[in-house]
Amino acid sequence: PIYTDYFFDEPAYNTHDGGYVPLERPAVPAKPLAIPALLKPDRETATDVYYTVTAQAGETQILPGAKTKTWGYNASVLGQTIVFPVGKHIHVTLQNHLPELTTFHWHGLIVSGPYVDGGCHAPVYPGEEKHIDFTLDQPAATTWLHAHPCPSTAEQVWHGLATMVLVTDAHSASLPLPHEYGVDDIPLVLQDRRFHEDNQLDYHADYDPDGVQGPTAVINGTVNPYFDVTTQKLRLRLLDGANRREWRLHFSDDLPFTQIAGDTSLLPTPVTMTKLMLTCAERAEIVVDFKGRQPGDKVTLFADDVPIVEFRIHAFQPDNTALPEHLFTVSAPTVDPALPVRKVVMSGMDEQVMLDGKKFNMQRIDAKQPVGQAEYWDITNTNEMHGGMVHPFHMHGTSFLVISRNGHAPYPNETGFKDTVGVNPGETVRLLVKFDLPGVYMYHCHIIEHEDGGMMAQIQTYEPGKPLPKYKLMDMDTL
């Protein structure tokens, strides 16, 4: 089948928010889509790879006229794209060249918390550096790096601290999928911003406790971008990197496309669709087939009814290889039926947002789960359908499977591993959750102002039979 709807509940779309900021067609000339450079390792051996990631301030020519003051990783805005091969021992030097504390959170990587994971307990102070190392044992995926200091994650991301991190493995490399970075395998970081006087950002002027928005779509840091298509098939790695915005994506002429991957793995089988909605922090990899298009043709990617990227078709070699029918085998861990189902409640809007009726406290461990033990987690959004919102629920330190939505089958494109799932108002989404690494991990709504506003909790995972390690947890006073 070809799916033709966004699946999420229409009355809860952000377009119905009182504070909704609609996207506007940018009144600036089209520019080539920025393709972030691939970050070069400092050195690499057969078994190890070494990187340096520097958070830095800079200026970026985003609009005609004055440059915009922005932050980025090894770049003036967003960052260079980082590639982590599964199985290699990865060493990263984290440098903070910013005027304030930041953290380096690997959203979607299964690495130990709370330090390597880079959540709020892993500060790197201005002018300092830290070293982390880990070895990934997870499927190939499109993940990302973003700042995560509590409670200024949203402001730092708004300034530009977000970049893609591609996890690669032999299985996905062996599949007949577009693989050539920058040519037929393209990152698309979807964000929105408001530019004030002299083209500057002003986070505080735009502040909204339900999530900061702007009227200008900024894709890989480019306003009004076009991309020159030179292959019949194009793989787009989509990331909702916005603080609050949901992206309801479709192409001109309802051109169908095929989703091949979600947040943290390929999908078991490709899913063909004409519409795709991403909530904050979600990723999707899609393959678009331009078969039949002629040089000079244009295909436009829209968010709702606003064009956000123009694909300009050039001559290409025919490529009619079918996508593999089977992409990935999901091995779901079994849950002991005697175990109780864990309940998580996301409630409220604006300053009232809470998780399990509480505001986040960095010093408080809210839950415990043994490593290696699979459990069901029921995530409930208690908002009302009319006037409520979709809250994207995210977990650190693991990937989960979506088992059901209010007892019904999950959406057809959420059948692989994920780390973020949009929960509709009045809905309970059942997840299958297993941690493999002991540590402390945050879980929260990924509307970034909601997480900064306290819609967040943390869990300690532990090895049964061993003494519980003590972690040094930040608190507001140690900031």
Q: Which residues bind Cu ion (CB under 5 A)?
A: 107, 391, 396, 445, 447, 450
CA proximity to 27, closest of 168, 262, 223: 223
445 binds, among ligand C2O, Cu ion, none (CB under 5 to 8 A by kind): Cu ion
Integer Rg of the chain from CA: 21
Binding mask 194-233 for ligand C2O (x = CB under 6 A): ----------------------------------------
CA geometry: angle at 86 spanning 82 and 89, to 5°? 85
Structure tokens at 38: 């691939």
193 binds, among Cu ion, ligand C2O, none (CB under 5 to 8 A by kind): none
Instruction: Find the binder of ligand C2O among 146, 237, 283, 430 (CB under 6 A).
Output: 146
| SS percent in the chain: helix, strand, coil, step 5 | 5, 40, 50
418 binds, among ligand C2O, Cu ion, none (CB under 5 to 8 A by kind): none
Residues 38-57, interacting with ligand C2O (CB under 6 A)? none
Q: Which of 62/120 has CB closer to Cu ion? A: 120
Size of the site for ligand C2O (CB under 6 A): 11
Q: What is d(CA 301, CA 306) in angstroms, rounded to the nearest whole number?
A: 8
Q: Which residues on neighbouring strands pair with residue 91, listed in sequence order?
A: 50, 133
Q: Which of 63/442 has CB closer to Cu ion? A: 442
Give the CA dihedral 411, 300, 298, 218, nearest 10 degrees.
-120
146 binds, among Cu ion, ligand C2O, none (CB under 5 to 8 A by kind): ligand C2O
Helices (H), 265-380: none
Q: What is d(CA 113, CA 438) in angstroms, rounded to the nearest whole number?
A: 8
Structure tokens at 339: 């175990």
Instruction: Find the binder of ligand C2O among 193, 434, 444, 450 (CB under 6 A).
Output: 444
Q: What is d(CA 9, CA 6) in angstroms, rounded to the nearest whole number?
A: 8
Report whether 54 contacts 61 (CB < 8 A). no
- Which range of residues in 6-14, 87-95, 290-298, 441-449 is near ligand C2O by CB under 6 A? 441-449
Q: What is d(CA 187, CA 345) in angstroms, rounded to the nearest whole number?
A: 33
Instruction: Find the binder of ligand C2O among 62, 442, 455, 459 (CB under 6 A).
Output: 442
CA proximity to 48, closest of 78, 83, 3, 90: 90
Structure tokens at 146: 């973003």
What b/e string do you get for 425-451 counting C-beta neighbours within 10 Å, with b at 16 or more?
A: bebbbbbbbbbebbbbbbbbbbbbbbb
Q: Is residue 107 near ligand C2O by the rule CB under 6 A?
A: yes
In the complex, what is the shortest distance from the CB of residue 210 to Cu ion, in angstroms, rounded to a whole number? 8
In the complex, what is the shortest distance from the CB of residue 172 to Cu ion, in angstroms, rounded to a whole number? 21
Residues 251-290, interacting with ligand C2O (CB under 6 A)? 281
Three-state SS for 366?
coil
281 binds, among ligand C2O, Cu ion, none (CB under 5 to 8 A by kind): ligand C2O
391 binds, among ligand C2O, Cu ion, none (CB under 5 to 8 A by kind): Cu ion
Residues 6+ apart with CB under 8 A from 220: 33, 34, 35, 36, 78, 187, 188, 189
- Which range of residues in 47-55, 225-233, 398-406, 440-448 is near ligand C2O by CB under 6 A? 440-448
447 binds, among ligand C2O, Cu ion, none (CB under 5 to 8 A by kind): Cu ion
Q: Classify 471 in phi/psi space as left (phi over 0), alpha (psi -120 to 50) or beta.
A: beta
Helices (H), 294-340: none
Q: Is residue 405 near ligand C2O by the rule CB under 6 A?
A: no
Binding mask 65-104 for ligand C2O (x = CB under 6 A): ----------------------------------------
Can you say how many angstroms the Cα of residue 256 is from the centroid of all Cα atoms in its chain? 23
442 binds, among ligand C2O, Cu ion, none (CB under 5 to 8 A by kind): ligand C2O
Q: Is residue 121 near ligand C2O by the rule CB under 6 A?
A: no
Instruction: Find the binder of ligand C2O among 26, 94, 103, 105 (CB under 6 A).
Output: 105
In the complex, what is the shortest distance from the CB of residue 457 to ligand C2O, in angstroms, rounded to a whole number? 11
430 binds, among ligand C2O, Cu ion, none (CB under 5 to 8 A by kind): none
Q: Is residue 450 near ligand C2O by the rule CB under 6 A?
A: no
CA proximity to 232, closest of 310, 313, 309, 308: 313
Q: Which residues on neighbouring strands pair with residue 3, listed in sequence order?
A: 273
In the complex, what is the shortest distance from the CB of residue 161 to ligand C2O, in angstroms, rounded to a whole number? 11
Q: Is residue 396 near ligand C2O by the rule CB under 6 A?
A: yes
450 binds, among Cu ion, ligand C2O, none (CB under 5 to 8 A by kind): Cu ion
Q: What is d(CA 80, CA 234) in angstroms, rounded to the nearest whole number?
A: 21
Q: Which of 56/103 has CB closer to ligand C2O? A: 103
Q: Which residues bind ligand C2O (CB under 6 A)?
A: 105, 107, 119, 146, 148, 281, 394, 396, 442, 444, 446
